[in-house]
Amino acid sequence: MATKNPIIKDAPNSVVRSIGVIGTGRALPQKVFKNDEFVNLGLDTSDEWIVERTGIKQRYIAKEECASDLAIAAANKAILNAKIDKSEIDCIVVATTSPDYPLFPSVGCLVQSGLGLTDIPAFDLSAACTGFIYAMEVATSMMRNGTYRKVLVIGVDTLSKYCDWKDRSVVILFGDGAGAVVLGGVEDGYGLLASQLGAKGKDWEKLVVPIGGAKEPLTAENISSPDRYIKMDGKAVYKFAVNIIVDVIEKALEKANLKKEDISFFIPHQANKRIIEYAREKLGLSTEQVYVNIDTYGNTSAASIAIAMDEAAEKGLLKNGDIIVTVGFGAGLTYGTNILKWYSSKK
């Protein structure tokens, strides 16, 4: 006679009703790259031009590091911050579009190996700069039936490796890094209250790496083509972001029975200071209610929000019971938001 699965058997009595962030961490490459260094490379730009248009003063560039190196480092810090043993992690979800290897294995599996864990599920999720938002909702949904108790969610990207360093419109924007959170059970009423995810796939061509995939693999003939790097219609992406960013937040707030006035703190994707400022004004928030670190890191894609969340938590800016709103947008074109009621054991 077959033995019953103890997890399924116990699930009705062990469902985690409220799931929140119980630990955060971040990791950056060693190399700091300031705006003036683009000028030294011969790029037609300046520190003033970059700061005025984007808000970026510097970024971290992965020279020797891969996505998994940064992800593992951020994960270890998040686990330490959560005050749990790494053996308690029972699932790993990694949001990235710049994995170590082009097809497989996933960064999630490399992280599992790097942490010395075995057997637990580990996988990657691809939603570009919205990846961490998507991953938070996916992980939380997996936890709600009680099968998974503590899930490691990581956002990591090394998109500087996919930039044409002669293309001023793209290379100045991106930096590399990783951010991680441990999700676990929190007091009832706290944690992730609502998410709103979406995509406008019809506009996929606005932000794309044209060659190097199955549609047009790399060959000896096209290996030097600039089309192997990120191509972006900057105006179209900017318009997409400002048109969707507030709308998606309002829909998620409605799901959570909240209003814009209930927002305590806003952690947006760090893509452009003008987009962040636009959202701040539309949401009626003060500058003190918005976390901005684009000047230091640039656009770290899927890592952006997770890095900012760790910094904000480390600085004590996120208080127990605060309503935290995150929002992201990126290639796909994808977009999404998470609404959290922050839980802290330091009340």
> Assign residue 64 a region: left if phi > 0, alpha if psi is -120 to 50, beta otherwise?
alpha
Per-residue pLDDT of the chain (347 residues; tens, 9 = 90+): 333 333 333 333 456 679 999 999 999 999 999 999 999 999 999 999 999 999 999 999 999 999 999 999 999 999 999 999 999 999 999 999 999 999 999 999 999 999 999 999 999 999 999 999 999 999 999 999 888 999 999 999 999 999 999 999 999 999 999 999 999 999 999 999 999 999 999 999 999 999 999 999 999 999 999 999 999 999 999 999 999 999 999 999 999 999 999 999 999 999 999 999 999 999 999 999 999 999 999 999 999 999 999 999 999 999 999 999 999 999 999 999 999 999 986 65
Rounded Cα–Cα distance for residues 162 and 175 (Å): 11
Rounded Cα–Cα distance for residues 139 and 124 (Å): 12
Fold of 192-293+303-341: Peroxisomal Thiolase; Chain A, domain 1 (3.40.47)
Give the 3-state DSSP-derived string for 107-169, with helices as H, strands as E and coil as C.
HHHHHHHHCCCCCCCEEEECCHHHHHHHHHHHHHHHHCCCCCCCEEEEEEECHHHHCCCCCHH
CATH 3.40.47.10 in the chain, residue ranges: 17-189, 192-293+303-341
Beta strands at 91-95 and 151-157: parallel, antiparallel or unpaired? parallel
Q: Please, what is the Cα angle at 245 between 265 and 154, to 5 degrees?
A: 65
pLDDT for residue 146: 87
Query: Annotated catalytic residue: which of 66, 81, 91, 269?
Result: 269
- On whether the CB atoms of residues 260 and 250 are closer than 8 A, the answer is yes
Query: Annotated catalytic residue: which of 66, 129, 272, 338?
Result: 129
> Assign residue 61 a region: left if phi > 0, alpha if psi is -120 to 50, beta otherwise?
beta
pLDDT for residue 9: 31
129 flagged as catalytic: yes
**Cα–Cα distances in angstroms (integers) from residue 171 to residues 33, 50, 95, 164, 175, in the given order:** 11, 11, 21, 6, 9
Query: Annotated catalytic residue: which of 35, 81, 272, 299?
Result: 299
Fold of 17-189: Peroxisomal Thiolase; Chain A, domain 1 (3.40.47)
Residue with token string 């949001």: 95
pTM above 0.75, yes or no: yes
Q: Please, what is the Cα angle at 130 between 321 and 230, to 5 degrees?
A: 150
pLDDT for residue 211: 96
pLDDT for residue 14: 56
- On whether the CB atoms of residues 129 and 304 are closer than 8 A, the answer is yes
**Which pair of structure tokens corresponds to residue 4?**
């019953």
Residue with token string 């179209």: 236
Q: Give the Cβ contact number of residue 335 at 10 Å.
A: 27
Q: Please, what is the Cα angle at 88 between 109 and 269, to 5 degrees?
A: 60
Q: Give the Cβ contact number of residue 9 at 10 Å.
A: 11
- On whether the CB atoms of residues 159 and 176 are closer than 8 A, the answer is yes
pLDDT for residue 11: 38
pLDDT for residue 49: 95
